Amino acid sequence: MSILSLANCLIGHHKPIRSNVHWKGKRLVGECRHCGAAIHRVDHGDWRAGHA
């Protein structure tokens, strides 16, 4: 875990644990490898917090 990664989390750019993502309905959901937040993919490589 790095400070830079957490800074990205703070501005809403999360990174999933790749082995722990799954489809939920029409979107990929997972858990952020840096801050542990529940996240979902809104675009390729673009993950946001929350499952809504």
CB under 8 A, 24+ apart: contacts of 33-40: 34/1, 34/2, 34/5, 34/6, 34/8, 34/9, 35/6, 35/9, 37/9, 39/14
C-beta of 2 vs 44, nearer to Zn ion = 2
Residues 3-42 that bind Zn ion (CB under 5 A): 9, 14, 32, 34-35, 37
CB of 22 to Zn ion, least distance (A): 18
Number of residues that bind Zn ion (CB under 5 A): 6
Contact positions vs Zn ion (CB under 5 A):
9, 14, 32, 34-35, 37
